[in-house]
Structure 1
Amino acid sequence: MGKPESPVGMVELAGWSGQKHRGFLEGGLLLLLVLVTGALVALGLLYAAHSRAIQWPKEVGDICTSPGCVMAAARILQNMDPSREPCDDFYQYACGGWLRRHVVPETNSRYSVFDVLRDELEVILKGLLENSTTKDRPAVQKAKMLYRSCMNESVIEKRDSQPLLDILEVMGGWPVTMEKWNESVGPRWELEQQLAVMNTQFNRRVLIDLFIWNDDQNSSRHIIYIDQPTLGMPSREYYFNEGSNQKVREAYLQFMMSVATMLRADMHLPESSYLVREDMVQVLEMETQLANATAPQEERHDVTTLYHRMSLEDLQNKFGLKGFNWTLFIQSVLSSVKIKLLPDEEVVVYGIPYLQNLEDIIDVYSARTIQNYLVWRLVLDRISSLSQRFKDARTNYRKVLYGTTMEEVRWRECVSYVNSNMESAVGSLYVREAFPGDSKDAVRELIDKVRAVFVETLDELGWMDEVSKKKAREKAMNIREQIGYPDYILEERNKHLDEEYSNLNFSEDKYFENGLQNLKAGAQRSLKKLREKVDQNLWIIGAAVVNAFYSPNRNQIGRNFDKNGNMLDWWSNFSAQHFQKQSECMIHQYGNYSWDLADNQNVNGFSTLGENIADNGGVRQAYKAYLKWMAEGGKDQQLPGLELSYDQLFFINYAQVWCGSYRPEFAIQSIKTDVHSPLKYRVLGSLQNLGAFADAFHCAEGTHMHPHERCRVW
């Protein structure tokens, strides 16, 4: 899950987010419950068809001919390519039909089963948000108002750049669009205040990432974190690697220059292409230095090495940053929510190498260049809220970066925006309309089965000693699951939903300002937590979201966190050393996958290790849970038209969850930034390691899907 907008410590388990991940699996047990349950639910037909969530007809023989079974069989057959040999390339065998029938839309950088589900979800949400009724509660009324303001294109076009020009004044101006910034603003310029305004007013954490989240060492309290920031482009590698990255950098620079030139014209300033280029080249050079100062994600997997708690005095002494006043900066941020620093206030520093490097960067670049950069990051974030000509300015950059040639259709963009910013309000609409009432019970039953299987499977692990196994069992039994949605969003008398958005007052003709309200509210919501006790039952994902998440501080299934979500290495040396050995096998396995779409770059076996462990353990536990269900009296029926065994159907369903295609440009990006392996390698890697798969398809040893050596962690 993720750093820029999402709280620290979430790990995305399925689907796509584009957010940075700060929770990691590298050091421990797989996300046994959420991931495996997600695997079971995602497998769909074979397993879920027999849960109480789907009412099948009474048995009428060995073949199920109900409409649901017929439709499911048709879906499976359409997705497959039976002409391929499953033991050679199971992904093509299971997904070849899907890949043939689905072309990546011009608006998308990739297209997968998850994207299809999201498309269908957005159609439902569109209808709900466009349905006007006087009976809506305040939170829902505001969500619909936000949607209408986003759809009000004529007003957005008419207002053009004016809303952006107004907020540039709040930031002290954008030097590249001013004739005499150094003389008029520069002398009064303070980096501490500028960063505080970016953080509190616009929820942009630039140069220094300051945020509030659960203390890794004490999950019952919140604490201030200081970390390295995100960058303007998706990956640090784009800033200094050669090859195709050069094209991305050039397009990024041109995008910056185009926007600055447009705003200068709107302010009736003389055209000065030389000045604009000179300023923006300096910005890109500075951001390149920042990228070089950040640590690669693969070096940030072990939270115990990232975590450094210290006093403000120690922070100031260790990272002076050429006179940067940390107390002033942090107090300025907290003042936005009326919180005062305590005399003994502590912070946790995650990004020590970055802060050590930042000092030289701040020393080299002028206030003008730093201000140009800060404002550029704000402008970059706000482009989507402006008129079409600003979006057109980024078209080439997005094409080079993602491979997309068209903007998303307006209503989808607006649905996605409202759902992302008002998850609870939109979720309440969605649940009432489309969430089956008994689904929670069905999924909870699956969770119980998976939990039981995981505990049983621990006995098979020769690399883990009994002491560690006992603690792993305790952790498994202490996981708190959150299924579907929190009940309060449906309770009319419960005012919590409306209170969540009480400080938002949207206007139908001010979409840009509505967006600024959301940014400020998001920042305040996070900062206010500092003096609040941690709510372990807090929901960190909306109801209308196609995804699954796991929150480490709320019970991290990893060697670095105990059953209460506190950072504590509870593994014995024996278990830790042997886990490392098991992991190295998987690092090597995935690191040898060469992806043709990404210029034949190899998968990063180290940075994807956590998710690979989860995928491997997830399908293994899901399969065992299915066998357990059968052994306890579960009754399967054949699907019409499929001459497949139950075991074969199970693995085909698993693979078909991950059917999807990428544009080459996005493949190159995702292999740098995604902690998940590419879709086909998520399937091939996990099933190559599972003996039950080779048995189900009678794969001879030495074939691609039955390698001589297999990797197993869980």
Structure 2
Amino acid sequence: MGKSESQMDIVEKSSRSGARRWSGAEIGLTVLVLLLSGAVAALLVLHTARESSFHKASVEAVCTTPGCVTAARLIQNMDPDAEPCQNFYQYSCGGWLDRHVIPETSSRYSVFDILRDELEIIVKGVLESEQEEEQDRDAFQKAKRLYQSCMNESLIELRDSAPLLELVSRIGGWPVASADGDSSREEPWSLEDTLSTLTARYHKKALLDMFVWTDDHDSSRHIIYIDQPALGMPSRDYYFSDGNYKRVRDAYLQFMEGMAAMVRADRGLARNDSFVREETERVLQLETDIANATSPPEERHDVTLLYHKMALTEVQQKFTLNGFNWTRFMQGVLSGVNIDLLPQEEVVVYGGPYLQKLESILQAYPVSTVQNYLTWQLIIDRVGSLSRRFKEARANYRKALYGATVEEARWRDCVRYIQSNMENAVGALYVRESFAGESKRMVSGMISKIRQAFIETLDELHWMDQRSKEKAMEKAMAIKEQIGYPDYIIEKGNPKLDMEYAHLNFSELNYFENILENLRAGAQKSLKKLRERVDPELWIIGAAVVNAFYSPNRNQIVFPAGILQPPFFSQQQPQALNFGGIGMVIGHEITHGFDDNGRNFDRDGNMLDWWSNFSASHFKEQSRCMVHQYGNYTWRLAGGQNVSGISTLGENIADNGGVRQAYKAYLQWVQKEGEELRLPGLDLDHKQLFFLNFAQVWCGSYRPEYASQSIKTDSHSPLEYRVMGSLQNFGAFSEAFHCKQGSAMHPEEKCRVW
């Protein structure tokens, strides 16, 4: 939630997580070579249909090291009948798509998801290890205790709704689940106090979002932000549109009705279906009005237009919200961390248009409906930590939303929860178990090469003047990098890791309460930063993550240990594959510093216009080409909807720039080190292998229900178009595969920003 969403990642954040271990045992590798050599031979027989790609290469030019025998994986993923110049995604991933079926528990299945699944297996192993507690550091003990409380299903079933009923009572009741809609509060209900409780105690942002983050105009300090909230359903389209969106909306209402009826029954109240239906329908109408008041992503694309700094007194004057006391609300939020508002406290308002519309919405509904809405927003997030019957009440909604028909294994849910809430503890356990530290040095060297390639590429840009190029070079040189993991998490004598969790006390018997404690701790951790200087050394993500990130406020790129593995990276695999894999990811994250959002920030992470009018105007012109290109891609799985060229622009710019810079850096590496040997079974040269691995890291498929969601919520284009769009714009690809101009992969018109 909040400003952290501005961090750019290489792939959509997902609840799926996992990783592949790369064994370096000499005997094991020898066996692997023999096995894979046999696999390659078998595959050669099966794939003779495409002589140009799959006929046997000359023995003298073939690399037979263990790392090179990964050609078996490359061949298996390919479609021998597809023409690379017509559909390079099908050519590269057709075999993968044929062999992989989306699991019943999943809404999407991709190379990323496989790596995350495998990483989760590793994390499960270390969380379940029986190392003596006195030999385990405090942070690890707490992570394991939290995991054990999550896995204690019999006790969760025994406690049933008791924790939920206590939570509802603690926040002032749930009128729809009370007699005649009475919340049974002795004192008058206060919107300000309720919202401050939700924000400070339960880290829940409903009706409006208040959070503490780096000041866009001063990257050394933190400031309060006010923004529009997230919604109960994934995007505003679910509240208005037909088709699958209506099916999800109907299931959402049914879910709300079912939960209210269950809570009423558990409180000993008489069944009253008509009352529950009327009240929940009114809540959905309120939520629909809130969704309608929020600005769509396309209108929130320019962060310079979102940012409005003002004194708290001005906030009170501009956004009265039917008598809402902003000082009471904010002081209530901050009181839990012992911070007092200043007489002229500054606030950044991101959601001005929404707040202006909110006043009339609040006037149109009774207090009971608003209270029902806020309580529902808190409850919906807690269903996963309750007994089976509550999850069953949610099942139809999840099926309509994701298309998945089966719940994940309990241990996976538990691993993901611990990963998300104790990132550094889990990161330390993962790194200690399976990460090769030498990778940090090698990836650092690749970053240097690709950064230099970006700088050299600036000379090719005719749309940018010299002064702006110099500023861009300065920013690129100033980008800070974090690779693998922060050193302190594996240093036995360093108390910093244990201190991060010193305030947490978990019980193996009370998973629900452990979650509430985590929510409060997370809220306090964020709010405490208001009077603290920004820590430039702080990691924005844990080590056990298969992803990569760029932070515009820090001008920093991060490559966690979880992504530094095949097919992205390996010390053993050919450099063509490394540059096409992790090299493109590195270029992608560097380019985020210069996409439509990142370009608004300077080398120090401050929002500052360092562009000349000439260059800024031409940047927008170059970008419009990509908006049009990607906006014309029609996604069949999403009901024939078009990709949003505006919402995906930043990621598309990063994809295009990333593959271009990585390729340039790889050619420079080849010029210095010499051409690499061909891989067994593949008559592809080193340039073609670069593009092949680039495409194959994006192999994946979606369920239609999830496609309908991601086309509205994901800032990335669908996997297929990430590959197709980037390579259609890159002449070097067409040269490598001898594509004729005018073919699908070598169109007449090409788009280029960086």
Q: Structure 1: how far apart are the matches of 2:101 and 2:5? A: 35
Using the TM superposition, give the Cα deviation of residue 437 of structure 1 relative to its aligned residue in structure 2, in angstroms: 1.5
Using the TM superposition, give the Cα deviation of residue 348 of structure 1 relative to its aligned residue in structure 2, in angstroms: 0.2
Which protein has greater RCO, CA pairs closer than 8 Å, 6+ apart? 1
- Aligned residue number for residue 621 of structure 1: 661
Q: Does the 8 Å CA contact 2:173/2:183 hold for their aligned counterparts?
A: no
Cα deviation, 1:563-593, whole Å, max 9, x if unaligned, reads 1000001100100111111111111111111
Using the TM superposition, give the Cα deviation of residue 93 of structure 1 relative to its aligned residue in structure 2, in angstroms: 0.4
Q: Structure 2: how far apart are the matches of 1:255 and 1:157? A: 20
- Aligned residue number for residue 713 of structure 2: 673
Cα deviation, 1:498-554, whole Å, max 9, x if unaligned, reads 111111111111000011111000000000000001001110100000001111100
Using the TM superposition, give the Cα deviation of residue 633 of structure 1 relative to its aligned residue in structure 2, in angstroms: 2.0
Q: Does the 8 Å CA contact 1:88/1:703 hold for their aligned counterparts?
A: yes
Q: Structure 2: how far apart are the matches of 1:455 and 1:530? A: 36
- Aligned residue number for residue 635 of structure 2: 595
Using the TM superposition, give the Cα deviation of residue 332 of structure 1 relative to its aligned residue in structure 2, in angstroms: 0.3
- Give the match's secondary structure for 2:484: coil
Q: Structure 2: how far apart are the matches of 1:502 and 1:61? A: 61
- Aligned residue number for residue 572 of structure 1: 612
Change (3 A) 1:18 1:613: farther
Q: Structure 2: how far apart are the matches of 1:366 and 1:166? A: 25
Using the TM superposition, give the Cα deviation of residue 634 of structure 1 relative to its aligned residue in structure 2, in angstroms: 4.3
- Aligned residue number for residue 74 of structure 1: 72
Using the TM superposition, give the Cα deviation of residue 63 of structure 1 relative to its aligned residue in structure 2, in angstroms: 1.5
Q: Structure 1: how far apart are the matches of 2:272 and 2:186? A: 21
2:649 pairs with one of 596, 609, 612? 609
Mark the runs of 5 or more structure 2 residues left unpaired by the alignment.
23-58, 556-592
Q: Structure 1: how far apart are the matches of 2:510 and 2:186? A: 31
Residues 303-382 of structure 1: matches in 2 within 5 Å? Answer: 303-382=303-382
Q: Structure 1: how far apart are the matches of 2:341 and 2:436? A: 47
2:95 pairs with one of 94, 97, 116? 97
Q: Structure 1: how far apart are the matches of 2:196 and 2:414? A: 29
Task: Report which stretch shifted further, 175-184 or 243-252.
Answer: 175-184
Q: Does the 8 Å CA contact 1:15/1:114 hold for their aligned counterparts?
A: no
> Normalising by structure 1, what TM-score?
0.93
- Aligned residue number for residue 671 of structure 2: 631
User: Would you say 1:692 and 2:692 are equivalent positions?
Assistant: no
Q: Does the 8 Å CA contact 2:83/2:91 hold for their aligned counterparts?
A: yes
Q: Does the 8 Å CA contact 1:15/1:546 hold for their aligned counterparts?
A: no
Change (3 A) 1:598 1:612: same
Cα deviation, 1:292-346, whole Å, max 9, x if unaligned, reads 0000011111111000000011000000001000000000000010100011210
User: Would you say 1:13 and 2:6 are equivalent positions?
Assistant: no
- Give the match's secondary structure for 1:554: coil
C-alpha RMSD over aligned residues = 1.5
Change (3 A) 1:305 1:18: farther
1:649 pairs with one of 678, 689, 710? 689
Q: Structure 1: how far apart are the matches of 2:140 and 2:677? A: 44
Q: Does the 8 Å CA contact 1:561/1:567 hold for their aligned counterparts?
A: yes
Cα deviation, 1:245-278, whole Å, max 9, x if unaligned, reads 2111110000000011111111111001011111
- Aligned residue number for residue 570 of structure 2: none
Paired amino acid for 2:717: S
- Aligned residue number for residue 707 of structure 1: 747
- Aligned residue number for residue 109 of structure 1: 107
Cα deviation, 1:213-257, whole Å, max 9, x if unaligned, reads 000000000000000000000011100122322111110000000
User: Would you say 1:683 and 2:681 are equivalent positions?
Assistant: no
Q: Structure 1: how far apart are the matches of 2:608 and 2:624? A: 23
Q: Does the 8 Å CA contact 2:102/2:702 hold for their aligned counterparts?
A: yes
Using the TM superposition, give the Cα deviation of residue 102 of structure 1 relative to its aligned residue in structure 2, in angstroms: 0.4
Cα deviation, 1:180-230, whole Å, max 9, x if unaligned, reads 554732861000000001001110011110000000000000000000000
Q: Structure 2: how far apart are the matches of 1:185 and 1:12? A: 45
Paired amino acid for 2:383: I
Q: Structure 1: how far apart are the matches of 2:427 and 2:9? A: 19
Q: Structure 2: how far apart are the matches of 1:275 and 1:415? A: 40
Using the TM superposition, give the Cα deviation of residue 159 of structure 1 relative to its aligned residue in structure 2, in angstroms: 0.4
Residues 443-454 of structure 1: matches in 2 within 5 Å? Answer: 443-454=443-454
Paired amino acid for 2:72: A
- Give the match's secondary structure for 1:632: helix
Change (3 A) 1:82 1:275: same
Q: Does the 8 Å CA contact 1:186/1:367 hold for their aligned counterparts?
A: no
- Aligned residue number for residue 584 of structure 2: none
Residues 193-212 of structure 1: matches in 2 within 5 Å? Answer: 193-212=193-212
Cα deviation, 1:413-450, whole Å, max 9, x if unaligned, reads 11111011100001111111111020100100000000
Q: Does the 8 Å CA contact 1:386/1:512 hold for their aligned counterparts?
A: yes
Using the TM superposition, give the Cα deviation of residue 16 of structure 1 relative to its aligned residue in structure 2, in angstroms: 3.2
Q: Does the 8 Å CA contact 1:227/1:349 hold for their aligned counterparts?
A: yes
Q: Structure 2: how far apart are the matches of 1:183 and 1:129? A: 42
Identity of aligned residues (%): 64
Q: Does the 8 Å CA contact 1:213/1:225 hold for their aligned counterparts?
A: yes
Q: Does the 8 Å CA contact 1:217/1:567 hold for their aligned counterparts?
A: yes
Q: Structure 2: how far apart are the matches of 1:466 and 1:278? A: 64
Cα deviation, 1:79-115, whole Å, max 9, x if unaligned, reads 0001111111110000000000000001100100000
> Normalising by structure 2, what TM-score?
0.88
Task: Report which stretch shifted further, 241-250 or 502-511.
Answer: 241-250
- Aligned residue number for residue 63 of structure 1: 62
Residues 475-494 of structure 1: matches in 2 within 5 Å? Answer: 475-494=475-494
Paired amino acid for 1:497: L
Provide the aligned length of Structure 1 versus Structure 2.
672
Cα deviation, 1:343-402, whole Å, max 9, x if unaligned, reads 121000000000000001111111100110111011101001000111111111111111
Using the TM superposition, give the Cα deviation of residue 405 of structure 1 relative to its aligned residue in structure 2, in angstroms: 0.4
- Give the match's secondary structure for 1:225: strand
Residues 418-437 of structure 1: matches in 2 within 5 Å? Answer: 418-437=418-437
Q: Structure 2: how far apart are the matches of 1:589 and 1:113? A: 26
Change (3 A) 1:590 1:333: same
Q: Structure 1: how far apart are the matches of 2:60 and 2:339? A: 68
Paired amino acid for 2:424: S
Using the TM superposition, give the Cα deviation of residue 62 of structure 1 relative to its aligned residue in structure 2, in angstroms: 2.6
User: Would you say 1:561 and 2:601 are equivalent positions?
Assistant: yes
Residues 377-526 of structure 1: matches in 2 within 5 Å? Answer: 377-526=377-526
User: Would you say 1:586 and 2:626 are equivalent positions?
Assistant: yes
Q: Does the 8 Å CA contact 1:81/1:92 hold for their aligned counterparts?
A: yes
Using the TM superposition, give the Cα deviation of residue 18 of structure 1 relative to its aligned residue in structure 2, in angstroms: 7.7
Using the TM superposition, give the Cα deviation of residue 133 of structure 1 relative to its aligned residue in structure 2, in angstroms: 1.4
Q: Does the 8 Å CA contact 1:173/1:181 hold for their aligned counterparts?
A: no
Residues 25-424 of structure 1: matches in 2 within 5 Å? Answer: 62-70=61-69, 72-134=70-132, 135-182=135-182, 184-185=184-185, 188-424=188-424
Q: Structure 1: how far apart are the matches of 2:290 and 2:687? A: 51
Using the TM superposition, give the Cα deviation of residue 8 of structure 1 relative to its aligned residue in structure 2, in angstroms: 5.0
Q: Structure 2: how far apart are the matches of 1:172 and 1:239? A: 27
Using the TM superposition, give the Cα deviation of residue 67 of structure 1 relative to its aligned residue in structure 2, in angstroms: 2.2
Using the TM superposition, give the Cα deviation of residue 560 of structure 1 relative to its aligned residue in structure 2, in angstroms: 1.1
